[in-house]
Amino acid sequence: MGGQVKRIALAEDDVLLREGMASLLEGAGYDVVCRAGDAAELLDFLRDAEPEMIVVDIRMPPTCTTEGLDAARAIRRDHPRAGILVLSAHVEVDQAMELLATGRRIGYLLKQRVASVDGFIEAIERVRGGDSVVDPVLVGELFASRRREDPLERLSPREREVLALMAEGRSNAGIAHRLWISEGTVEKHVRSIMARLRLPDTGDDHRRVLAVIAFLETR
């Protein structure tokens, strides 16, 4: 990639930050082909262009809520080969996870990271090269969130074993045979799992599916 023209589009409503990023990128050898002030302007430009990289603020006019996030979704759908780096003023775990789940060539950085010129350019290069980039602060938040919210922390070791076997699709009888316990004991463990995971009794089998989903989401 070294000798290629590196085309990049920017979307940031803060003019000073946008121009500052453009200057940094041009100094690093990028051709800044778009300097948009909102998501609509960026998407309009991308109808007839295919830059290698797009940097987009997660919140932009007119509502400053999810315009950048919505744009990133559209870009990933319509320009799957383009790298996307999303900038945010605050750590927003759910939105970051949604973006990162879309695959490679995606990044999420806090805006404060732009102040570190080398770190910012390195993140751009890594995403352009096919990697995913996650802000270190977000990594910390993800680990903290997992510790706070992991529902399996409420289960005993035996209940975890039972739930793991449920996730394999085993019936209560199959679990009893595998663990060398009675089917009645398995039923007690299943009831306890449902209670500890706070899955309400609705009179059907959906709670068992929800329990398995909770297990799989922590793997």
Q: pLDDT tens-digit profile of 113-162?
A: 887 888 899 889 988 988 878 787 776 666 565 555 566 777 888 988 88
Q: Are residues 157 and 200 in the same domain?
A: yes
Residue 211: which domain range?
151-216
Q: Are residues 173 and 116 in the same domain?
A: no
Phi-psi region of 4 (alpha: psi -120 to 50; beta: other; left: phi over 0): beta
Q: Are residues 59 and 141 in the same domain?
A: yes
Q: Are residues 60 and 126 in the same domain?
A: yes
What would the pLDDT profile of 160-201 be if each residue is shown by its tens digit?
888 888 876 678 898 999 899 999 999 999 888 888 877 766
Q: Are residues 129 and 28 in the same domain?
A: yes
133, part of any domain? yes
Residue 189 tokens read as 């463990």
Look at residues 146, 171, 186 and tell me which one is the last residue of a structural domain: 146
Name the CA dihedral angle for 95, 101, 107, 109, rounded to a multiple of 10 degrees: 30
42, part of any domain? yes
1, part of any domain? no
Look at residues 98, 130, 146 and tell me which one is the last residue of a structural domain: 146
Q: State the total domains in the chain.
A: 2
Task: Give mean pLDDT, residues 63-88.
Answer: 89
Contact of 86 with 54, CB cutoff 8 Å? no
Look at residues 90, 116, 146 and tell me which one is the last residue of a structural domain: 146
Binned at pLDDT 50, 70 and 90, residue 85 comes out as: very high
In this prediction the pTM is 0.64
Task: Name the H helices within the chain.
Answer: 15-27, 39-46, 67-78, 93-100, 117-128, 136-149, 157-167, 172-179, 183-196, 206-216
What would the pLDDT profile of 25-55 be if each residue is shown by its tens digit?
999 999 999 999 999 999 999 999 889 999 9
